[in-house]
Structures are given as structure tokens and as C-alpha cells.
Structure 1
Amino acid sequence: MDYSSVKLGDIELMKLMIINDVRRGISTAMNNSVYDRYSDGSDVIASRLLSKKIEIDFTILYNIIETKKKLSPIISQKILQKLIFSDDPNIYWNVIADGEIKVTEHNNGKYTTGTITFLVPSGHAESVTSNILNATNSGGENGTITPNTTDGSIEIKVNNKGTLPTFPKIKLTNVSENGYFGIVGVKGLIGLGNINEADGVTTPKSEQLYDSNTDSSFSKFKDVAAGIVNPQNSLYGTNGTISFQSDGLRFATQGTMSSSQIAGGGMKVMTLPADSNGHIGATNLYSHFNLFAWAGAMGQTGILQILFTDINDKLVAGYGITKS
């Protein structure tokens, strides 16, 4: 058989040698444990695959000494390496060199032949690619994922299209805080965490409640209803207007103010959304703003405030910048 490629790890062996023959065999030897019956025959107690060997006959024609020096550290790795043949590129063998690589020099050392023997400890090849079963392709050739809306469990049926039993790799992602995962299979089970969530602790996490990057015109901020007073100081008027102009919110009209008020202005309000648990409000809150201000003429005064209130418009926290 002609090979266009034989790769060991990341190294293309055919750049270093000519591959003359490869012996992979058809199958791996089986080892059977049996129990002799009192009557005729035996009962099979257990069967297992043995390790197997792959042999590669090769020829080195040019730069023999240099090729040997390059080949030795590649072959003599003390770890398993992937061996892939071009005639079957969808599988690989996890191998390690076995025994001495014996070579014969011919025609006064003008070319060299030899055999490399690789041990395959597992006894079988493995697929280069993996098949993925998820909610998108459930019900197809890879299997099905069926949630149970009654008890919250999920039934997963995986179609193994290989020639040997295998273990699936399962990726679990919590959609909310969860203290326990239980996975039950045909031949075993595994539990992670405490099924009773006995610690009683809800683990907090940070969430972004509002970001103007996704609301560049500040459309979620609305003008306050008529008669709403400034929650920090009623001496500031609120019936003026603040509007979006090109790159942010700007003071638009002063509005009117009563004889007891000292400044006129506008006010906008946004109700912070609930977090992922449906809760409104936060124990710890961070708020970042970019503020840009200047005086258009000498003697101008002003105040800019960012205020947080409760459901009854009572001040919780805030800050302000003033020019007196």
C-alpha cells in the first residue's frame, strides 16, 4: 500500500525515511477467562483486549547518519504519541516505541533498512474527531436529550457509533446556583456536591444591571412625572429637560422653579432591572459614569447629580458635582 503520510506526533516520518511495509493486523488479540463446567465445555467469565503491536519497515537512502540522529529522539519518547496513517486519517493509535530499532546497512552504508516496533497499550485505535450531542442536534444520529419537567431530571441517550464501548465526556453548566449533580448510567453512577445543599449558603455573584454601551441614546432613562421632587434636595427644580445630544445626556431647558427653590433643572429616571434570580436591589452596587462639563460664561453655576432611591423615591445613595 502506498502512504502519502505517516505522522508520529507532529513529525512526518516520510520526510525522514521510505516506508516499505506496515503491519497493523486486523484485530487485537482477546484474552478470555473461563470457568470449566462440571458438564461439557466452559463458561466465559470475562474477556479483555490485549495490547498490540504495529511494525513499520523502512529504508533510509540519504544523509543516513544525520537522519538517525534526528530519528532517535523522535522515536525514543517515554510518553504515548499519536500515530496516524494517511490511508485511515480519521483514527489514530496511541503508541510508544517497543524494543530496539535494529537496522542493517547495505552497499557499504549507502542505504539502511530497519524495523520500528510500536506498542499500542490500549490495543485499539481511537477516533480523531468527537461527536457532540447537545440540545441543538438532540433527536438526530448522535442521540437524544429529554428533560423531565416533573422532577427536573434529564434523560440522555447516546448513540455510540464506534466499534468498542466508550465513556462519554459530559459538560455540565448550572443555569442557577445548584449544590449537587447526580449522573446515573447503566453500569454505575457519580454524584457531585451535597444533594441536600446542607450549607444553606447562597453564593453571590456580580451581574451587570445596566450598560449604556447597549443603550447609547440612554433611551431607558425617562423624564420624571410632573410634581416629582428632587429626592436629595427639594430646593432643586425638576421640571426642566435633559435630552440626548450626539454623545450623551445634556441639560436642555431650565424649566421653572418656585420662589423657595435655588436652582432649576431637569431629572430623568430609570428603574434598575431585576437580577437573574428575579430580585430587585443589591447588597453591594458599583456605578460608573463619565461626566463632562464646562462653563459657557463667567459666573455660571450648576449641579449634576446621580441618585439612587428605593421604591418610594427615598434617597439611598448618590453623589453630585457642583460649581458654586
Structure 2
Amino acid sequence: MFKVKYGDDYLTDYVKFTKIERGVASENTLTTEENSSDGVEIVNVKRGPKEIPMSFHVIDGLDVNFVRRKLAQILSSTANKRLNFSDEPNYYYNAILTGKLEYTDDGFEADGSFTLFVSDGAAHRTDRVTLNSTNSGGSSGTITKNADGSVRIKVINNGTKPAYPRIDITNNQENGYLSLAHVSGGFAMGKIAEADGKNVQKSEQLYDSNTDSSFSKFKDATGTANPQNSGLGTNGTISFQSDGLRFATQGTMSATQFAGGGMKVMTLPADSNRHIGAANLYSHFNLFAWAGAMGQTGILQILFTDINDKLVAGYGITKSDMSGNSAKCSFWVGGNTPKEYTSFGFETNNAEKNQKYPNNMFNSS
């Protein structure tokens, strides 16, 4: 059923409209000035108001006097009211009565007419047209992501008057700066040089042997004292042999040392802020500790030091058992009170089948 609503009231509760002239568009008023050539130049175009004449017949069975007073009450407004037609559910007009409300009755039936004046001459849309990635490229416009990360938005206005878009932005990652630019102006918010205005920590990888397969960044530290135990000699050599670093030459020991060996060192590179050193650090090493025969001894260490070669922390595998296959893994902390933090024992086999105590951590697999 066709309905007409004016303000908060439905006119079609009282009358049946026999004619409504909504027209196509309001008239334009042109401002012109003389041109040096033929004709004139258009200086300004102004949309004029429009009128909507409406004729009606009072619904049969209703009291014509009651309807007369009801229409007068609804239409006698000193301000615009919204005018809605049910066949245009998403549009409304801002309208007010102009001229006389014609009303003719014989006591039982009545007919009449009135004209509503639309001061801005336009129909206004009530629903919102959305342009997003799903309907991009359709009648509403396009959204295109550029190679530099910016986004170009082309909005197509299918109406008859200028429209002002509402732009909703959802960031898929942290973003402390937004900028919108248009031919007639722009808007920017945030700080372009900083993600969010405050410093935060992030994890960075400082070294990965996958990009240094021969461990070339580790240099011999021959003669440098062992940071964890000065009784360990360091003037031997460690070298890369096909699959990793291995003990190469034992070197010599001083009178106060009890084992000979070599040592390699690498200075961790600076992070992205050009800072060397970290308050929090983790690293993964693949250590292979397998005695080829009972009674073999040895020690493997991974140590972290400060800029003065003072121990910060480290761990190592020590086998001093000269008859059996027992070894232990120890964890050390340095600083002002260096000590062994904890340790656990294991068997230095290669986790072969049927081992009573298989070496689950430091085997060749």
C-alpha cells in the first residue's frame, strides 16, 4: 500500500492521493555576464526550490470534518518537516505547506489539494552508500593500493548535489600516522617519523649461521684468557670442517693450566638503533658431544662476555671421566659473583639403540 508520511504523521491514514506531482528536478537559476566573444559566460548556477502539488480524496467511511481538522493540524507547520513516499523508501524532502489547503465536502465525502514547498529543491538520501574492497570497481568507485603503500580512492557521487564522504580507516598493523589528501585540501594526524610516539622494544636477530655457513665471522682468540676458567688454555685452534667448528690443534699450556684448547670470538653487531649489547638475549647452538671411546675427556663452551671480555653468562659440556662415559652440562653466570648456576649429568654416547642412558641432547642427529 502506498503511504505518504509528513513529519511524524501518515497522511495516507486519512486520505487517498489521486495525484502527486514530484517532478524530475528543480529549476536552475543562472548568473551570467557578457563575454568578449559570442554569448555569455556562466558565473554561477543556483538550484532553485521546487513544489509538490498533491490532490486527494478522503478515505471512505471517515468523518470528513475530523479529517479536515486533522489535515490542518498536520500541515499547519511553521518549519520544514520530512516528507517521505513509500515508493522512495531511502529518500526524503524537507517540505512545508505553501498556499491554501483546498478542501471540498458534502458532509459525507471530501476532496482537496495542497502544495508542499521544498526550499532546497532536493531529495535527500537516508541510507549510506558504502565503498570498500568488496565492491571496489563498481558504480560507487574504486580503491587502489599503490606500490608505495598509499591508497588511492575514487568516489563516484551518483546524486545530484555535492556529498561529503565519511572515511572509516582500520589499520591492519600499528600505524602512528594517517594522511588524507584531496584536490581541495588535506588532513593529517600523527607523527610521520614515529610509529606511535613512544619507544618500544622489539626482537631482532643479530647473527644466524645460515648466512655464514663456515663461521667466518668468528675469529681466533689465541692467547686471550678464557673468561670462565683461566685454567683452560686458548692458544690452540678451532676450525670449520665440512659440517661445523671442530677442535684442530691443542696448543700449549702454562704451568697453571690443566687443559689446552682453542677459542674463537665474534662481536655481536649493533641493532637497528645502532646500539651494541642487549639487556635480554637468547641464542641457539647445536653442540655435538660424543666420546669415541670410554675414558676420553674434553670440554665445549659457549660464553657471552661484556666489552672487556668479562663473563656475563654461558654454558658448557665437561667430560673429566677418564674411564667411563659420564659428562655434565653446566650453566654459568658471571658479573661480580661468578658461579655455576646449575648442571645436569648425561652419557656421551651418540644415542644409539639399546643405550641404557641415551644422549638425547648432544648427539649427531
State the TM-score, normalized to the length of structure 1.
Answer: 0.51
In structure 2, distance between residues paired with 1:103 and 1:203: 74
* Structure 1 residue 175: Cα displacement: 4.6
Contact 1:93 1:120 in 2 (8 A): no
In the alignment, does 2:98 pair up with 1:102?
A: no
Matches within 5 A, 1:303-318: none
Structure 1 residue aligned with 2:29: 31
In structure 1, distance between residues paired with 2:2 and 2:175: 52
> Identity over the aligned pairs, expressed in percent?
29
In the alignment, does 2:14 pair up with 1:16?
A: yes
Of the structure 1 ranges 47-56 and 175-184, higher mean CA displacement relative to structure 2 is found in: 175-184
In the alignment, does 2:169 pair up with 1:189?
A: no
Amino acid in the other structure paired with 2:85: F
Amino acid in the other structure paired with 1:154: V
Contact 1:91 1:125 in 2 (8 A): no
In structure 1, distance between residues paired with 2:157 and 2:146: 23
Contact 1:180 1:191 in 2 (8 A): no
Change (3 A) 1:35 1:203: farther
Change (3 A) 1:197 1:110: farther
Contact 2:49 2:121 in 1 (8 A): yes
Note the alpha carbon deviations across 1:251-304, whole angstroms, 9 max, x for none.
Answer: xxxxxxxxxxxxxxxxxxxxxxxxxxxxxxxxxxxxxxxxxxxxxxxxxxxxxx
Structure 1 residue aligned with 2:85: 85
Matches within 5 A, 1:18-167: 18-60=16-58, 62-77=62-77, 80-86=80-86, 88-107=87-106, 109-150=107-148, 152-167=149-164
Note the alpha carbon deviations across 1:32-79, whole angstroms, 9 max, x for none.
Answer: 111112443111112121121112122336223333443344334555
Contact 1:7 1:85 in 2 (8 A): yes
In structure 1, distance between residues paired with 2:96 and 2:199: 50
Note the alpha carbon deviations across 1:178-217, whole angstroms, 9 max, x for none.
Answer: 555432234x22315355589x84499xxxxxxxxxxxxx
Of the structure 1 ranges 36-45 and 57-66, higher mean CA displacement relative to structure 2 is found in: 57-66
In structure 1, distance between residues paired with 2:199 and 2:133: 27
In structure 2, distance between residues paired with 1:23 and 1:154: 45
Amino acid in the other structure paired with 1:113: D
Change (3 A) 1:142 1:41: closer
In structure 1, distance between residues paired with 2:81 and 2:110: 25
Matches within 5 A, 1:150-229: 150=148, 152-175=149-172, 178=175, 180-186=177-183, 188-194=184-190, 201-202=197-198
Structure 2 residue aligned with 1:311: none
In structure 2, distance between residues paired with 1:76 and 1:185: 45
In structure 2, distance between residues paired with 1:74 and 1:169: 35
Contact 1:177 1:202 in 2 (8 A): no
Amino acid in the other structure paired with 2:136: S
Of the structure 1 ranges 189-198 and 6-15, higher mean CA displacement relative to structure 2 is found in: 189-198
Amino acid in the other structure paired with 2:185: L
In structure 2, distance between residues paired with 1:126 and 1:203: 48
Amino acid in the other structure paired with 2:180: I
Note the alpha carbon deviations across 1:73-102, whole angstroms, 9 max, x for none.
Answer: 43345554443334x425523222133542
In structure 2, distance between residues paired with 1:197 and 1:162: 40
In structure 2, distance between residues paired with 1:130 and 1:171: 13
Amino acid in the other structure paired with 1:185: H
Contact 1:142 1:158 in 2 (8 A): yes
Unaligned runs of 5+ in 1: 205-324
Counting matched residue pairs gives 200
Q: Relative CO higher for 1 or 2, CA cutoff 8 Å, sep ≥ 6?
A: 1
- Give 3-state SS (helix, strand or coil) of 1:172's partner: coil
Change (3 A) 1:103 1:173: same
In structure 2, distance between residues paired with 1:190 and 1:76: 45
Unaligned runs of 5+ in 2: 201-365
In structure 1, distance between residues paired with 2:76 and 2:192: 52
In structure 1, distance between residues paired with 2:182 and 2:19: 43
In structure 2, distance between residues paired with 1:46 and 1:125: 22
In structure 1, distance between residues paired with 2:182 and 2:91: 28
Amino acid in the other structure paired with 2:96: A
Amino acid in the other structure paired with 1:8: Y
Change (3 A) 1:80 1:154: farther
